[in-house]
């Protein structure tokens, strides 16, 4: 049995963009989306309904389509991070990485020794893989959420921590931390977000963010390579266009 490759990590390391979709809570939905050709599925374990018991089926569905299973956990706790990996996740997203110490704790929980302190266990991704413990670090992707103004202030130190594959600037919490709750488009918020992304790229690290149809090109032009989007706006736009076309033909 060969260790499954981490599609997102491979693409990013080759300098290519990686596209990740969120909004699914059932394996059948992942199967239905599989042929579209995205690189990964964001499984929401902080704000959404994804629990540890769900991860076996959800990550298996991702495996079937060669997509990376990206799981956001709800806290920066080493045991939670490596248990989520043990359940089959190939990538972990950790919220509120505000300091160098926070970043180091993420690596400690997400990487086997000597890089980290992940508990030694052959996860579902390692069944039948004889050298899993020696190779798992190479196929595990750790993603730090830069979502507070404190993280922006400490960003240079955070970027010095090795072992993190993506530094993801999260706009909603970022805006709230600046006193602009619900105002992601506020000029001061956009300025800080763009600055953070540019600093990540300038440091030779991989930048990620939430992108929609109206701003994804802007982020690509400043060097973002990890693009996360959600299904809701697409469904709403398609449904609106469908109804509008029908109503135009109603006499």
User: Average pLDDT in the 30-42 region?
Assistant: 97
User: Average pLDDT in the 210-228 region?
Assistant: 96
Q: What is the mean pLDDT of the chain?
A: 96
pLDDT over threshold 70, residue 246: yes
Q: Would you say 169 and 201 are in contact if contact means Cβ atoms under 8 Å apart?
A: no
Residue 88 region, left (φ>0) first, then alpha (ψ -120 to 50), else beta? left
- Residues 14, 11: Cα–Cα separation, whole Å: 5
- pLDDT tens digits along 60-98: 999 999 999 999 999 999 999 999 999 999 999 999 999
User: How high is the pLDDT of residue 48?
Assistant: 85
Q: Would you say 239 and 231 are in contact if contact means Cβ atoms under 8 Å apart?
A: no
Catalytic residue among 26, 47, 96, 218: 47
Q: Would you say 72 and 42 are in contact if contact means Cβ atoms under 8 Å apart?
A: yes
Q: Which of 98, 94, 96, 114 is nearest to 106 (CA)?
A: 94
User: Average pLDDT in the 37-50 region?
Assistant: 94
At 251, the pLDDT band (50, 70, 90 cuts) reads: low
* Catalytic status, residue 186: no
Query: Phi first, then psi: what are they for 133, rounded to 5°?
Result: -65, -30
User: How high is the pLDDT of residue 49?
Assistant: 84
């Amino acid at each position: 049995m060969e260790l499954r490759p981490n599609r997102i990590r491979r693409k990013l390391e080759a300098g290519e963009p990686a596209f990740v979709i969120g909004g699914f809570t059932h394996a059948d939905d992942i199967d239905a989306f599989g042929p579209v050709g995205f690189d990964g599925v964001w499984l929401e374990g902080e704000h959404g309904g994804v629990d540890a018991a769900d991860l076996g089926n959800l990550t298996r569905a991702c495996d079937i389509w060669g997509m990376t299973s990206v799981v956001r956990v709800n806290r920066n706790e080493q045991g939670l991070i490596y248990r989520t990996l043990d359940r089959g996740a190939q990538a972990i997203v950790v919220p509120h990485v505000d300091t160098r110490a926070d970043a180091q704790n993420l690596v400690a929980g997400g990487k086997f020794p000597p890089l980290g302190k992940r508990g030694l266990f052959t996860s579902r991704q390692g069944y039948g893989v004889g050298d899993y413990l020696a190779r798992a670090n190479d196929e595990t992707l750790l993603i730090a959420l830069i979502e507070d103004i404190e993280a922006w202030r400490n960003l240079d130190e955070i970027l010095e921590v090795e072992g993190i594959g993506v530094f993801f600037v999260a706009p909603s919490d970022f805006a709230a931390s600046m006193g602009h709750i619900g105002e992601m488009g506020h000029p001061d918020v956009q300025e800080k977000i763009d600055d953070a992304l540019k600093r990540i790229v300038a440091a030779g690290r991989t930048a990620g963010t939430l992108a929609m149809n109206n701003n994804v090109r802007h982020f690509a032009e400043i060097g973002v390579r990890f693009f996360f989007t959600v299904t809701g706006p697409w469904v709403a736009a398609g449904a609106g266009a469908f109804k509008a076309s029908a109503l135009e033909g109603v006499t």
